[in-house]
């Protein structure tokens, strides 16, 4: 280790930057001084693209910033008075050392100095300074990476006074759309539009009673909204100045017409540094919109401009013409909002004819071009006019495939050329260095000086110059005709008609030389015609206030959004408001789709609402897409998300819903900010999916027996292998956090490297892990947390979770929250693929109730920091209540500050949902009649144990009204499990887990008190150590959880009685109606009833003494079922075992189950069954008994569609073909055999049928519309 001292860094920042979270305010000119020690950890990962092992710099609790990619940042956030305060930071390194890692991810961002980043941020209106230290650098002498282990930090804040002009103001509180009849008009391009009476009549507008003086048109132009909240924007629709010919008589009749100027989507801006105009294409909409209304007030009309009295000192006879070509044909990375145009691959040359009409002799055409290439060698694009090249664009190569590699490289170049022709052909030729190289044209823009000569029917023109407000300039236009008008459209909402002078074919006008102006000349020979979209119902989002919960729902899903809103209104007394995206766009972005409109709407609500009812929750009801403009077939852009401008680099590109919650004045630019609201998304794209979600939601929040259960106390941590077991260490740190702070949760650990890895033709696999994950999900979990590699198709390179696994889950009553700290598991914005995370959410029969999940490339260090923050608040009560899921995530992200990694985490689900926490507590009172306050008896093998306890409220007050049942699970001592080092670079790692259950049983709770007893199995470990007891209680209304430790386990009762009798076992599939040899689907549930005088052994630490099932005599792959056995109510002598089997092959099977009692006496039982794949609806063994019958008979049958509701119809048909009786029932089938359906031999009219032969036909149909039929014969035999 090399020690380095006395290297001082000072950074002074004054002004605005970005966001974060903090503490209490300082006094005057605050000063902070602290010594920081960083605990560095070794992390590496296998690059899934390059196959190489990459090192990741990481220290505990590191954060991340957009500027530093995958490199770790130390963050310190402090409250300040104003965003204008100056921040002085001094950093003195104390101890540093070299890091000998060879290939460090994002190391190209390191410099020869330790970098300091200072961001000014706001959180819910409160300003903070966020200081970031990158504690790594490239040593300037030996060029090795050097990391800081300890440093001294000093922060000084110099306060300033906030000018009154910067105080926030509430905008309009009533939209113009709130009253009257409104017609939405679609605009395709910039120019003068004409509306005639005939056009209005064709739209169903009766023009006979219209006073044209009362016609109004509103709109805000065609630009995108600014992302920065501090930037100016129109607050509501603005009235446009228009011209109406023939309105003076108060009638809108033949020959009359409306003229108005409208901007198409996008905008031109003059770049003073480049001395040229540049075009910004609208990223979200192909059209702009205006709104027409007719009322009883006079409309706004175009006025004549003021003619300056001062003589002009400059005459303008030319202007700058511009032309822009940009096609949006492909998004190369399926991310971000940058789309590219024509492809240069097999065809490497393309020609683009353009007009250069009226170019001034001797002048040059200014040209700008942006091109993109994907090539592993430098490549180039040659641009020519005709056969003459004038620009060669060199495009950098992309690096070898790696996680952080750009998908392609983009370059922008400028050049110029001369021409005397009125049109030219631009030729683009891609010079391919490799066969695999490919390029795309992004855009090209042309600027040239053009003679100001009218070339109708419309001509737009402008002329940059040196502006002096006191001077006047004269424009002269040639080739004019007497019909020409010229409008000043510098303000496109309020154009002015210019007063012009004509002399022959020349016209002129004078105007102040105060700013860059835009004009349009037209002679009336032809106008653009708008397209009427339809009537806009009255709405007033600007008048909306005091809303707690906002739902932005696509119209297709409104009934389900309304249902969810009603739940929150009744259950939580929320004031819920539901709007559609189009409603938001109409008021906040002039009808154009723009994600910033949703953000501006939420910001307006927060500013306009009272403190007690400011919006807290935003739910986006509908799927999203990176394709805003429906270029992709079957697009899923139901409710827009925010896409980053970066689209080529996987680290810096993201899609986030957090943007809609960046509401503070300093936030928004570039998608930067810290969440101020709780936000979630329901990523459905069909009404059926929305209906399925609401069914799951209602089930989850219900308090009935079907939704409660000890699954609410189960957490499962799944960790990937590889990468030096870094994912295991991350999972261990999270599990330890829970076990230490919230010990009433049972923790399961599925660490891949602890399982046997097998080799298959498709690669390495962990079949036992796949099966274990599915079992845990089916059995029920409150949270399942995955750390490791992943993607849109599942988890880990070994595919331990795949979409087929997800879709097979049937855990409708036990829905977990999924937390996936992995890459792209839930990329929700790709309309061409439903990601694995979306499948988890959309599974109608189970899956998850919500996911806190990733949609883009993320990194383990930052993931872990956010994960830790989540659990820091997930189980914490505030004023006696748990936080909602959205609030937990919001606070966790606030702690991370303006973190790029955090923006890639999204919430699928309702942000106001509270996890299914047990609300109350359980306490042990006595063990073997001794108070736990005094001492606890040791649980010895073969000793009988009695435990008493009580249910209390969450504050530990007695709960005498609680009556229900309690499940007690007693674990033996912690087991040490050693991983197998299955992959190169991994070393065997030992971790702790509680896996051996001594006893699990059910007891009654009366008036809040319970007691239970059992006999300790002989197979416990005799060495005395600490066990642990978990309790879970529930009734029809509420539940409770608790734990007790330490409970000492070990030794043996030498006076135990003798028992040589084996247990009794009865086997079924799914339910007790199953008959040996019956049919099932491919995922049956083994059901076993086991009893013994002294109880059943579930410890599993004795060799060969597990409860074990063998399928088809495959003893090499036994099912160990100790954890699936549970004693019956108030007895340890009998119990039930349920175990789900998955993906069984069709055909006949046999399962053998062996169980041991606590004295290690064993018994076995066998069961045969036949699997019929559930994709084929099958009925078998249809029969009635008795047959023949006199008074009554019973119909029974088997099928292969368990765990669902079905419609049953039995028709009785006589020998003449007449239907004499129809029996109809709707039945929920938990298993594969029906309950007997009774029939008393009467007709539909109630008359007894005569004896004889009858046919009966069974029709069975499920909720999906699948139908199956089968027939049988019966004989009625009447006693004479």
Q: Report the C-alpha gap between 343 and 348 in whole angstroms.
A: 8
- Is the model's pLDDT at 708 over the cut of 50? yes
The answer to whether 375 and 382 are in contact (CB under 8 A) is: no
The answer to whether 263 and 279 are in contact (CB under 8 A) is: no
- Predicted pLDDT at 102: 52
- Predicted pLDDT at 22: 30
pLDDT in tens, 734-774: 999 999 999 999 999 999 999 999 999 989 999 999 999 99
- Predicted pLDDT at 1206: 87
Q: Which residues pair with 366 in a beta bridge?
A: 416, 447
Neighbours of 20 (CB within 10 A): 29
Preceding omega of 457 cis (within 30 degrees of 0): yes
Average pLDDT estimate for 91-108: 72
The SS3 call for residue 376 is: coil
The answer to whether 918 and 962 are in contact (CB under 8 A) is: no
- Is the model's pLDDT at 17 over the cut of 60? no
The answer to whether 538 and 178 are in contact (CB under 8 A) is: yes
Least Cα distance to 773 among 813, 801, 744 occurs for 801
Average pLDDT estimate for 633-640: 97
- Is the model's pLDDT at 14 over the cut of 60? no
Pairing type for strands 1079-1080 and 1162-1171 reads: parallel
Task: Choose between 759 and 140: higher pLDDT.
Answer: 759
The pLDDT confidence band at residue 147, using thresholds 50, 70 and 90, is confident
The answer to whether 672 and 902 are in contact (CB under 8 A) is: no
Q: Report the C-alpha gap between 75 and 61 in whole angstroms.
A: 9
The answer to whether 1201 and 1263 are in contact (CB under 8 A) is: no
Q: 680 to each of 437, 667, 894, how far by Cα in Å?
A: 41, 20, 16
Task: Choose between 221 and 1234: higher pLDDT.
Answer: 221
Q: Report the C-alpha gap between 1144 and 599 in whole angstroms.
A: 50
For the chain, helix (H) and strand (E) counts, in that order, are 12, 83
Q: Report the C-alpha gap between 427 and 434 in whole angstroms.
A: 21
Cα angle for residues 351, 353, 357 (degrees, 5° grid) = 155
Least Cα distance to 231 among 676, 672, 673, 665 occurs for 665
Q: Which residue has the tokens 């105080």?
A: 167
Structure tokens at 1057: 């009685």
- Predicted pLDDT at 5: 30
Average pLDDT estimate for 935-945: 92
Q: Report the C-alpha gap between 1228 and 1262 in whole angstroms.
A: 10
- Predicted pLDDT at 65: 67
Least Cα distance to 371 among 438, 323, 443 occurs for 443
- Is the model's pLDDT at 19 over the cut of 50? no
Q: Which residue has the tokens 């009998």?
A: 1134
Cβ-count burial of 978 within 10 angstroms (0-12 exposed, 13-18 middle, 19+ buried)? exposed
Question: Percent of the chain having pLDDT more than 70?
Answer: 94
Average pLDDT estimate for 1073-1081: 90
How high is the mean pLDDT of the chain? 91
Could you tell me where the DSSP H helices lie in 539-620? 558-572, 581-588, 595-608
Residues in the chain: 1280
Q: Is 630 left (phi over 0), alpha (psi -120 to 50) or beta?
A: left
Q: Report the C-alpha gap between 919 and 955 in whole angstroms.
A: 10
Structure tokens at 350: 């393309």
- Of 158-172, 616-630, 840-854, 1058-1072, which range is least confident? 158-172
pLDDT in tens, 773-810: 999 999 999 999 999 999 999 999 999 999 999 999 99
The answer to whether 888 and 617 are in contact (CB under 8 A) is: no
DSSP string, 184-246: EEEE-SSEEEEE-HHHHHHTT--GGG--GGGEEEE---SPPPPSSTTS---SSPPBPPBEEET
pLDDT in tens, 555-608: 999 999 999 999 999 999 999 999 999 999 999 999 999 999 999 999 999 988
Neighbours of 556 (CB within 10 A): 16
Pairing type for strands 1204-1213 and 1252-1262 reads: antiparallel
What domains are there in the chain, each with its CATH number? 9-166 (2.60.40), 176-317+453-535 (no CATH), 318-451 (2.60.120.260), 538-671 (3.40.50), 711-908 (3.40.50.1460), 920-978+992-1052 (2.60.40.1930), 1064-1171 (2.60.40.650), 1179-1276 (2.60.40.10)
- Predicted pLDDT at 167: 45
Q: Which residues pair with 764 in a beta bridge?
A: 759
Task: Tell me, letter by letter, the H, E, C secondary structure of 1058-1111.
Answer: CCCCCCEEEEEECECCCCCCCEECCCCEEEEEEECCCCECCCCCCCCCCCEEEE
Average pLDDT estimate for 685-702: 96
pLDDT in tens, 1145-1178: 999 999 999 999 999 999 999 999 999 887 778 8
Cβ-count burial of 992 within 10 angstroms (0-12 exposed, 13-18 middle, 19+ buried)? middle
Q: Report the C-alpha gap between 1190 and 809 in whole angstroms.
A: 45
Q: Report the C-alpha gap between 813 and 1219 in whole angstroms.
A: 40
The pLDDT confidence band at residue 28, using thresholds 50, 70 and 90, is very low
Average pLDDT estimate for 867-883: 95
Q: Report the C-alpha gap between 667 and 84 in whole angstroms.
A: 14
Cβ-count burial of 582 within 10 angstroms (0-12 exposed, 13-18 middle, 19+ buried)? middle
Neighbours of 758 (CB within 10 A): 12
The pLDDT confidence band at residue 1036, using thresholds 50, 70 and 90, is confident
Task: Choose between 1279 and 531: higher pLDDT.
Answer: 531
Cβ-count burial of 843 within 10 angstroms (0-12 exposed, 13-18 middle, 19+ buried)? buried
Cβ-count burial of 269 within 10 angstroms (0-12 exposed, 13-18 middle, 19+ buried)? exposed
The SS3 call for residue 707 is: coil
The answer to whether 811 and 846 are in contact (CB under 8 A) is: yes
Q: Which residue has the tokens 């679609």?
A: 186
- Predicted pLDDT at 1178: 86
């Amino acid at each position: 280790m090399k020690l380095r001292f006395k290297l001082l860094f000072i950074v002074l920042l004054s002004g605005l930057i970005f966001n974060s979270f903090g503490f209490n305010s300082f006094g005057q000119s605050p000063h902070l001084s602290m010594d920081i020690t960083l605990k560095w950890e070794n992390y590496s990962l296998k690059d899934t693209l390059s196959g190489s092992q990459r090192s990741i710099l990481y220290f505990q609790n590191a954060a991340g910033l957009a500027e530093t990619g995958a490199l770790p940042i130390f963050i310190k956030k402090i409250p300040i008075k104003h965003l204008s305060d100056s921040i002085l930071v001094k950093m003195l390194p104390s101890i540093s050392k070299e890091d000998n890692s060879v290939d460090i991810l994002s190391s190209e961002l390191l410099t020869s100095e330790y970098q300091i980043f200072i961001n000014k941020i706001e959180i819910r209106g409160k300003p903070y300074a966020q200081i970031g230290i990158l504690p790594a650098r490239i040593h300037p002498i030996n060029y090795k990476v050097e990391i800081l282990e300890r440093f001294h930090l000093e922060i000084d804040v110099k306060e300033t006074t906030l000018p009154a002009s910067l105080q926030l103001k509430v905008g309009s509180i009533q939209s113009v759309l709130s009253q009257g009849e409104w017609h939405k008009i679609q605009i395709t391009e910039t120019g003068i539009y004409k509306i005639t009476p005939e056009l209005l009549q064709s739209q169903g507008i009766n023009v006979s009673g219209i006073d044209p003086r009362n016609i109004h048109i509103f709109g805000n132009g065609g630009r995108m909204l600014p992302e920065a909240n501090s930037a100016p924007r129109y607050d509501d629709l603005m009235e446009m100045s228009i011209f109406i010919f023939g309105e003076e008589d108060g009638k809108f009749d033949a020959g009359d017409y409306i003229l108005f100027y409208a901007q198409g989507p996008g905008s031109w801006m003059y770049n003073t540094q480049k001395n040229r105009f540049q075009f910004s294409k609208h990223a979200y909409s192909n059209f702009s919109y205006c709104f027409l209304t007719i009322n009883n007030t006079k409309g706004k009309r175009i006025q004549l401009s003021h003619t300056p009295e001062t003589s002009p000192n400059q005459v303008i006879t030319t202007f700058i013409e511009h032309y822009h070509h940009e096609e949006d044909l492909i998004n190369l990375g399926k991310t971000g909002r940058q789309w590219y145009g024509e492809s240069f691959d097999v065809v490497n040359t393309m020609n683009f004819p353009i007009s250069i009409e009226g170019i001034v002799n001797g002048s040059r055409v200014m040209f700008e071009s942006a091109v993109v290439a994907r090539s592993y060698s430098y490549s180039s694009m040659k641009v020519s006019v005709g056969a003459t090249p004038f620009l060669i664009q060199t495009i950098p190569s992309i690096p070898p495939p790696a996680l952080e590699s750009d998908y392609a490289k983009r370059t922008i170049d400028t050049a110029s050329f001369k021409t005397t022709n009125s049109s030219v052909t631009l030729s683009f030729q891609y010079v391919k260095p490799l066969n695999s190289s490919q390029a795309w044209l992004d855009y090209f823009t042309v600027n040239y000086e053009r003679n100001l000569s009218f070339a109708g029917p419309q001509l737009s023109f402008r002329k940059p110059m040196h502006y002096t407000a006191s001077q006047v300039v004269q424009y002269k236009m040639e080739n004019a005709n007497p019909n020409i008008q010229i409008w000043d459209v510098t303000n496109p909402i309020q154009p002015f008609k210019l007063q012009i002078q004509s002399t022959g074919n020349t016209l002129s006008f004078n105007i102040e030389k105060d700013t860059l102006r835009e004009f349009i000349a037209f002679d009336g020979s032809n106008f653009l015609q708008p397209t009427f979209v339809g009537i806009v119902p009255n709405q007033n989002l600007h008048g909306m206030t005091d809303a707690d919960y906002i739902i932005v729902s696509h119209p297709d899903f409104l009934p389900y959004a309304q249902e969810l809103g009603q739940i929150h209104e009744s259950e939580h007394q929320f004031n819920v408001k539901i709007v559609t995206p189009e409603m938001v766009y109409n008021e906040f972005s002039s009808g154009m789709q723009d994600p910033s409109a949703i953000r501006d709407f939420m910001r307006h609500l927060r500013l306009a609402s009272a403190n007690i009812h400011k919006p807290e929750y935003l739910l986006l009801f509908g799927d999203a897409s990176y394709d805003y403009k429906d270029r992709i077939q079957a697009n899923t852009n139901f409710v827009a998300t925010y896409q980053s401008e970066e689209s080529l680099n996987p680290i810096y590109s993201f899609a986030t819903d957090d943007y809609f919650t960046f509401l503070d004045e300093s936030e928004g630019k570039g998608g930067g900010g810290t969440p101020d609201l709780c936000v979630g998304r329901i990523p459905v794209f069909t009404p059926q999916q929305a209906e399925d979600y609401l069914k799951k939601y209602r089930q989850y929040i219900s308090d009935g027996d079907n939704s409660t259960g000890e699954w609410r106390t189960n957490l499962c941590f799944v960790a990937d292998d590889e990468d030096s077991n870094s994912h295991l260490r991350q999972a261990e740190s999270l599990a330890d956090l829970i076990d230490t702070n919230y010990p009433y949760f049972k923790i399961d650990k599925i660490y891949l490297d602890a399982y046997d890895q097998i080799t298959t033709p498709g690669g390495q696999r962990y079949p036992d892990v796949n099966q274990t994950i599915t079992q845990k999900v089916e059995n029920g979990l409150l949270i399942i947390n995955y750390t490791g590699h992943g993607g849109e198709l599942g988890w880990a390179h070994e595919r331990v979770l795949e979409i087929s696994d997800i879709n097979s889950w049937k855990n409708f009553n036990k829905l977990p929250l999924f937390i996936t700290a992995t890459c792209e598991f839930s990329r929700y914005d790709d309309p061409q693929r439903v990601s694995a995370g979306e499948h988890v959410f959309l599974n109608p029969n189970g899956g998850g109730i919500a996911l806190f999940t990733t949609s883009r490339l993320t990194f383990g260090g930052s993931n872990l920091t956010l994960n830790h923050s989540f659990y820091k608040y997930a189980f914490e009560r505030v004023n006696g209540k748990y936080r909602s899921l959205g609030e937990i995530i919001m606070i966790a992200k606030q702690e991370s500050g303006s973190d790029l990694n955090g923006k890639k985490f999204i919430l699928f689900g309702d942000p106001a949902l509270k996890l299914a926490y047990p609300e109350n507590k359980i306490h042990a009172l006595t063990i073997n009649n001794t108070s736990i306050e005094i001492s606890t008896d040791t649980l010895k093998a073969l000793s009988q144990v009695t435990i008493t306890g009580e249910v209390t409220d969450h504050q530990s007050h007695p709960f005498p009204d609680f009556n229900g049942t309690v499940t007690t699970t007693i674990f033996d001592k912690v087991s040490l499990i050693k991983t197998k080092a299955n992959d190169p670079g991994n070393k065997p790692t030992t971790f702790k887990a509680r896996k051996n259950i001594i006893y699990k049983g059910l007891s009654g709770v009366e008036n809040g008190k319970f007691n239970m007893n059992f006999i300790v199995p002989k197979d416990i470990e005799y060495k005395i150590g600490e066990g642990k007891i978990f309790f879970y209680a529930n009734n029809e209304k509420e539940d409770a959880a608790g734990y007790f430790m330490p409970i000492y386990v070990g030794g043996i009762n030498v006076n135990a009685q003798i028992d040589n009798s084996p247990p009794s076992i009865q086997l079924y599939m799914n339910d007790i109606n199953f008959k040996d040899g019956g049919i099932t689907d491919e995922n049956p549930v083994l059901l076993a009833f086991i009893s013994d005088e002294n109880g059943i052994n579930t410890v599993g630490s004795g060799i060969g003494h597990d409860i074990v099932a063998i399928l088809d005599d495959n003893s090499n792959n036994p099912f160990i079922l100790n954890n699936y056995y549970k004693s019956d109510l108030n007895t340890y002598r009998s119990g039930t075992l349920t175990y789900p089997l998955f993906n069984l092959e069709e055909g006949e099977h046999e399962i053998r189950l062996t169980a041991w009692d606590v004295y290690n006496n064993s018994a076995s039982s066998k069961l045969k069954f036949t699997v019929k794949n559930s994709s084929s609806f099958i009925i078998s063994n249809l029969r009635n008994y008795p047959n023949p019958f006199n008074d009554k008979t019973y119909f029974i049958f088997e099928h292969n569609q368990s765990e669902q509701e079905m419609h049953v119809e039995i028709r009785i048909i006589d020998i003449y073909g007449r239907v004499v009786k129809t029996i109809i029932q709707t039945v929920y089938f938990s298993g594969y055999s029906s309950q007997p359906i009774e029939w008393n031999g009467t007709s539909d009219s109630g008359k007894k049928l005569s004896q004889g032969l009858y046919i009966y036909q069974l029709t069975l149909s499920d909720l999906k519309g699948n139908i199956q039929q089968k027939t049988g014969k019966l004989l009625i035999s009447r006693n004479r």
